[in-house]
């Protein structure tokens, strides 16, 4: 094997965000941009020599090229073995599964998640550690510092490998094993859920469903699990063929971007159940017939019914949710007598809790739920969990959720996204809110009195690490909340997210439209933050 050390110059913009490094494809296509970041990863990891690495991505444009580069660089940096998904494909939760099952040192996952793809779209890369979860901040910060100082990278001179056939190759002494990207993950799902009961439901003649893969990574997973193992007919799978540009769509499973599925589930002849997943397979949207399940409610319902599934029948150690996620799961944790952990946004914050056995289920309002089976959120896992509940309870999605509300109360909840706003103006809005922190207690806005307002900070209960400036909270005396955050997952401008929540205990008042139920809080958010003034927008881009 001929290894070349090539000279390079650092780029100043390679600091990983909450989900790795995400940029436009055209940025990654700059000379040595990808190579610099990959070398910075390898330079940050001690004990890498001879170890096993997992590599794969969501199949978006630039994925295949990046995989070939990473394989040659892995060989040049002394890796002993690389497991790569056939076609360069691995969903994010499947990559976590493979890392954990095969005892890999870590993995490089190529994805920009729910962001659009194609030559003019987005690309992303992140490193996951040996527990299968995203690298903690101490590693990502080291990667960033290395990227600022890099002067050379190592790469093996070798022809591209055949990634489309399962089997082994060699680059020098390093073994490259092309694996089925679905099998390990599908086998794990079959251990967690009652496939026999789900199969019986699907084949009863009394149940219809649709799953929308949005031309992204979960298409092959849906074919193997839902069609081959559980018996759904091919017409139940929508957009199941992965495409490098995701078919020109925006693979974000919400009411706006998954409109094709939403139209099907809200039609006169709607099926009983609908679900969608995103670009890299770690998010989910759950729908019943003419009924939308918010991600916050989904987490609470899954937690309350976890004992009905084989994988969770012995109970939950705890529940973890991100701070902006509604407090619906808190009420379930209280009734079950288990801990509820409130963390910053970003799945990496759940890793310590899962590893320490403090939490079993985790969820974020951004359409992500998961558990201790892997260390990423997991879209198809959530779909299978819901199918298991439907098979056991023999009730509709709407009945399960409304029954939950009657038992626990309803947390009316909505997120308003203002996408691609001017970054400087968005920063000014957040500064205004931070300057107000601690000053609004006792202030009345109509029927609402502020109990406190702060900038959320988190102390990890496992390692004691502190994360500050995680979002502005305005909490009211009746338990209602408004939360303001800037998202770190986009590549253009800034995305302002506003989260609104109000608790309703009266079953007679639990069937309102959320935007109507939250109308007063929507107006208060405008009064406090002057959203129109700073964003120049009259309405949000997306409401979920």
What is the pLDDT, as a whole number, of residue 492?
65
Other C-beta atoms lying within 10 Å of the C-beta of residue 508: 6
Residues 443 and 377 both lie in one domain: no
Residues 404 and 414 both lie in one domain: no
Residues 194 and 105 both lie in one domain: no
Residues 398 and 448 both lie in one domain: no
Residues 210 and 260 both lie in one domain: yes
Among 113, 296, 322, 480, the one annotated catalytic: 113
What is the pLDDT, as a whole number, of residue 544?
85
Pairing of strands 361-364, 318-322: parallel
Residues 246 and 192 both lie in one domain: yes
Whether 91 is catalytic? no
Residues 189 and 282 both lie in one domain: yes
Residues 403 and 414 both lie in one domain: no
Distance CA(267)–CA(534), nearest Å, equals 38
Range of the domain at 398: 185-408
C-alpha dist (Å) from residue 282 to 5, 104, 161, 211, 361: 36, 20, 28, 14, 14
β-partners of residue 383 are none
Q: What is the CATH number of the domain that holds 403?
A: 3.40.120.10
Number of domains in the chain: 3
Q: Per-residue DSSP letters for 184-241? A: HHHHHHHHHS-HHHHHHHHTSSS--EEEE-TTSTHHHHHIIIIIIIT---GGGEES-S
Backbone angles phi, psi at 398, to 5 degrees: -60, -40
Nearest Cα to Cα of residue 275 among 296, 305, 254:
254
Distance CA(152)–CA(35), nearest Å, equals 9
Domain boundary at 408, 439, 459, which?
Answer: 408
What is the pLDDT, as a whole number, of residue 448?
96
Residues 64 and 159 both lie in one domain: yes
Q: What is the CATH number of the domain that holds 425?
A: 3.30.310.50
| pLDDT mean by block of 10 residues, the chain; 544 residues | 95 91 97 98 97 98 98 98 98 98 98 94 97 92 98 97 98 98 98 98 97 97 98 97 95 93 98 97 97 96 98 98 97 98 91 96 95 97 98 98 98 94 95 96 96 96 92 96 83 87 96 96 97 96 88
Residues 324 and 312 both lie in one domain: yes
């Amino acid at each position: 094997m001929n290894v070349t050390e090539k000279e390079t110059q650092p780029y100043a913009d390679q600091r990983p965000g909450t989900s790795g490094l995400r940029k436009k494809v055209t940025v990654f296509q700059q000379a040595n941009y990808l190579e610099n970041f990959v070398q910075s990863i390898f330079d940050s990891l001690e004990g890498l020599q001879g170890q096993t690495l997992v590599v794969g991505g969501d199949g978006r444009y630039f994925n295949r090229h990046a995989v070939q580069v990473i394989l040659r660089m892995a060989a040049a940096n002394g890796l002993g073995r690389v497991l790569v998904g056939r076609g360069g494909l691995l969903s994010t939760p499947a990559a976590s599964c493979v890392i954990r099952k095969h005892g890999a040192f870590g993995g490089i996952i190529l994805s920009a998640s729910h962001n659009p793809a194609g030559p003019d779209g987005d690309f992303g890369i992140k490193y996951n550690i040996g527990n299968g979860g995203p690298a903690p901040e101490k590693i990502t910060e080291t990667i960033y510092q290395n990227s600022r100082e890099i002067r050379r990278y190592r790469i093996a001179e070798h022809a591209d490998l055949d990634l489309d056939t399962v089997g082994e190759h060699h680059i020098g002494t390093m073994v490259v094993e092309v694996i089925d990207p679905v099998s390990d993950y599908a086998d794990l799902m079959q251990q967690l859920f009652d496939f026999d009961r789900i199969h019986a439901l699907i084949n009863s003649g009394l149940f219809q469903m649709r799953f929308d893969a949005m031309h992204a990574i979960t298409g092959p997973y849906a074919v193997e699990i839902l069609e081959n193992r559980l018996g759904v007919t091919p017409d139940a799978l929508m957009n199941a063929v992965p495409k490098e540009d995701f078919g020109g769509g925006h693979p974000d499973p919400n009411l706006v971007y998954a409109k094709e599925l939403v139209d099907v589930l809200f039609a006169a002849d709607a099926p009983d159940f609908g679900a969608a997943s995103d670009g890299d397979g770690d998010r989910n949207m759950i729908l019943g017939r003419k009924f939308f399940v918010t991600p916050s409610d989904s987490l609470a319902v899954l937690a309350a019914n976890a004992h009905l599934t084989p994988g969770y029948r012995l109970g939950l150690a705890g529940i973890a949710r991100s701070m902006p996620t509604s407090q619906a799961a808190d009420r379930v944790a209280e009734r079950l007598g288990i801990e509820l952990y409130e963390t910053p946004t970003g799945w990496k914050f759940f890793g310590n809790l899962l590893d320490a056995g403090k939490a079993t289920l985790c969820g974020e309002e951004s359409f992500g739920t998961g558990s201790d089976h892997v260390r990423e959120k997991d879209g198809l896992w959530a779909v299978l969990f819901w199918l298991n509940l439907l098979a056991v309870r023999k009730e509709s999605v709407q009945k399960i959720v409304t029954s939950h509300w009657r038992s626990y109360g309803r947390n009316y909840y909505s997120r308003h996204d203002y996408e691609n706003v001017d970054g400087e103006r968005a920063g000014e809005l957040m500064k205004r809110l931070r300057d107000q922190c601690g000053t609004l207690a006792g202030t009345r806005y109509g029927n609402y009195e502020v109990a406190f307002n702060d900038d959320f900070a988190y102390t990890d209960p496992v390692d004691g690490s502190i994360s500050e400036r995680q979002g502005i909270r305005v909490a009211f005396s009746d338990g209602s909340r408004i939360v303001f955050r800037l998202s770190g997952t986009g590549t253009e401008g800034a995305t302002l997210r506003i989260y609104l929540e109000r608790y309703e205990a009266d079953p007679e008042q639990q069937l309102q439209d959320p935007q109507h139920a939250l109308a007063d809080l929507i107006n208060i958010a405008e009064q406090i933050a002057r959203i129109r003034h700073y964003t120049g927008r009259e309405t949000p881009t997306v409401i979920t």
